[in-house]
Structure 1
């Protein structure tokens, strides 16, 4: 029943993250709106993933023990998403700086390393010694935002699905054979400085 669960949620995360990465490229309000919406959607999806997996193993997601585990997963996904804010902000700033530009300047390259890196990459991919116009780089910048959003959200939701499945499998086997649940699964290591 759960054989393709992680892949399904990775794909859903990639689609959602790509959409939010594209939304982040909208001037002025793009980043705040995209990040807020993205955080809310990922939190809801994380809770939904954990609840579905718990139900598939016969555990009630409304049970207080299950709620603690679900909250841990949601908290971890929130921390993982925070890492995405700065790269998206830099990408949006680069997109704004290059919009309407006709010529390169050293200041533009220095202030926006992403643009300089994309220029070099496009030079290497093109004919030897070719010059890459600013407008060509400007067309590629939104795709960087999409890749950042899609990649991170895919990883976050995939990890939530895999962790929830491992937890429920372990709990199921412990219940089946009358074994105590390992201590690592009953305490929140995130509060002690590690991953939960």
Structure 2
């Protein structure tokens, strides 16, 4: 095939035939290793305190904060790359401005832990899907708008991941918590990406599906209502982009 766009002319069975399963474990594994490392930095000093050097061995507040920030940035980078990888499999260019918004929305949905946060994220994805399938123009999405949206999302994502990863500060189990949390986070994002890109791929080929309720199949725990909702479309409108809310 000469163009990425040509992939969208294939049948879904043909897409599945070359899909592969690398994204289902490669990105989660890389994120898990980062989480384990952050757990060592955050809780490792506390173990040392208990066994040898006393209070001087405890990690400083700056070290703990730095570990959280670095881990969140790496997880967001891996998340964006994993979703971008899946977008390519379905024939969508992750470097396109509108696609970057879709990727952020998928990452948002994959990390939402409460019912309200999940609802807001899925609403963003649905509205973006409708706009993209209908061919709405995106000329106003210049680099500065995308940059502002990405920056604001990164801040909100970092806060969310930090809240979810507070178990990393517990001595002895911090490494396990970091490894497990990051693995499940990336695994959830990859699952959401595959579902949403399949849905968009099918809606583009069969537009009548856009008018039907398509059930979402996610198994995340939605009981933690302390998880703050994040809306990429809100950030887009506030940055001067089109208001799709």
Q: TM-score range by the shorter chain?
A: 0.5 to 0.7
Unaligned runs of 5+ in 2: 1-18, 46-58, 112-156, 215-228, 232-245
Q: Name which one, 1 or 2, has greater alpha-carbon Rg.
A: 1
Work out the CA distance in 2 between the residues paired with 1:150 and 1:178.
41
Give the equivalent residue in structure 1 for 2:220: none
Work out the CA distance in 2 between the residues paired with 1:153 and 1:182.
35
Work out the CA distance in 2 between the residues paired with 1:170 and 1:72.
14
Say if 2:23 and 2:82, in contact at 8 Å, map to a contact too: no
Residues 61, 176 of structure 1: alpha-carbon distance in 2 compared, 3 angstrom cutoff? same
Residues 47, 183 of structure 1: alpha-carbon distance in 2 compared, 3 angstrom cutoff? farther
Identify the match of residue 167 of structure 1 among 187, 193, 196: 196
**1:83 correspondence with 2:168:** no
Higher relative contact order (CA 8 A, sep 6+): 1
Give the equivalent residue in structure 1 for 2:96: 63
Give the equivalent residue in structure 1 for 2:184: 155
Work out the CA distance in 2 between the residues paired with 1:24 and 1:178.
50
**1:37 correspondence with 2:37:** no
Aligned to 1:68, what secondary structure does the other structure show?
helix
Residues 151, 73 of structure 1: alpha-carbon distance in 2 compared, 3 angstrom cutoff? same
Listed as ranges, the matches of 1:87-98 within 5 Å are 87-89=167-169, 91=170, 95=171
**1:16 correspondence with 2:34:** yes
Listed as ranges, the matches of 1:100-115 within 5 Å are none
Say if 2:168 and 2:177, in contact at 8 Å, map to a contact too: yes
Say if 1:84 and 1:149, in contact at 8 Å, map to a contact too: no
Q: What count of residue pairs does the alignment treat as equivalent?
A: 137
Say if 2:165 and 2:178, in contact at 8 Å, map to a contact too: no
Over the residues paired in the alignment, what is the CA RMSD in angstroms? 2.6
Query: How high is the TM-score relative to the length of structure 2?
Result: 0.49
Residues 181, 43 of structure 1: alpha-carbon distance in 2 compared, 3 angstrom cutoff? farther
